[in-house]
């Protein structure tokens, strides 16, 4: 593991196109800003673990039913990824599109002040 010391406002560059900037340092907390190309997925560790666990469960369920991996359709939009499976011989239907995040935000209630 490479350990670097950075102050607020300082950055590191990974692979020439991923930039990580220290935004704020507080007691017991560091805020990082991450700039990456759209094709690079950035997740928190706990979210990444849940995604891997879901994939393992999906693979186990698919193996029990006797489905081939060829029958799994993965479709991703700008904000989501959808995984769906269907038995052999059943035609696949494209998943419904999800509106961009900016469109959803107008329906959400404002955050409570801290």
Same domain, 24 and 49: no
User: Alpha-carbon distance 54 to 107, whole Å?
Assistant: 29
Torsions phi, psi for 48 (to 5 deg) = -60, -45
Number of domains the chain is built from: 2
User: Alpha-carbon distance 95 to 86, whole Å?
Assistant: 13
pLDDT in tens, the chain (114 residues): 999 999 999 999 999 999 999 999 999 999 999 999 999 989 999 998 998 888 888 887 765 544 454 555 555 555 555 555 555 555 555 555 555 555 555 566 667 776
Which tokens in the block code for residue 8? 């607020």
Same domain, 11 and 35: yes
Which tokens in the block code for residue 44? 């928190």
Q: Indicate whether 98 belongs to any domain.
A: no
Q: Indicate whether 73 belongs to any domain.
A: yes
Q: What is the pLDDT of residue 56?
A: 83
Q: Indicate whether 113 belongs to any domain.
A: no
Q: Indicate whether 19 belongs to any domain.
A: yes
Q: Measuring CA to CA, which residue among 15, 2, 80, 69 is closest to residue 41?
A: 80
Range of the domain at 62: 43-87
Q: What is the pLDDT of residue 58?
A: 80
Q: What is the pLDDT of residue 57?
A: 82
Same domain, 52 and 19: no
User: Alpha-carbon distance 3 to 71, whole Å?
Assistant: 43
């Amino acid at each position: 593991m490479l350990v670097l010391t950075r102050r607020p406002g300082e950055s590191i560059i990974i692979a020439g196109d991923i930039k990580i900037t220290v935004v704020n340092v507080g007691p017991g907390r560091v805020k990082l800003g991450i700039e990456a190309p759209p094709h690079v997925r950035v997740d928190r560790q706990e979210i990444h673990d849940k995604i891997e666990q879901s994939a393992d469960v999906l693979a186990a369920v698919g193996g029990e039913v006797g489905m081939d991996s060829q029958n799994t359709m993965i479709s991703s939009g700008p904000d989501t990824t959808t995984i769906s499976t269907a038995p052999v011989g059943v035609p696949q239907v494209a998943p419904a599109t999800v509106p961009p995040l900016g469109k959803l935000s107008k329906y959400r209630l404002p955050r409570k002040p801290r």
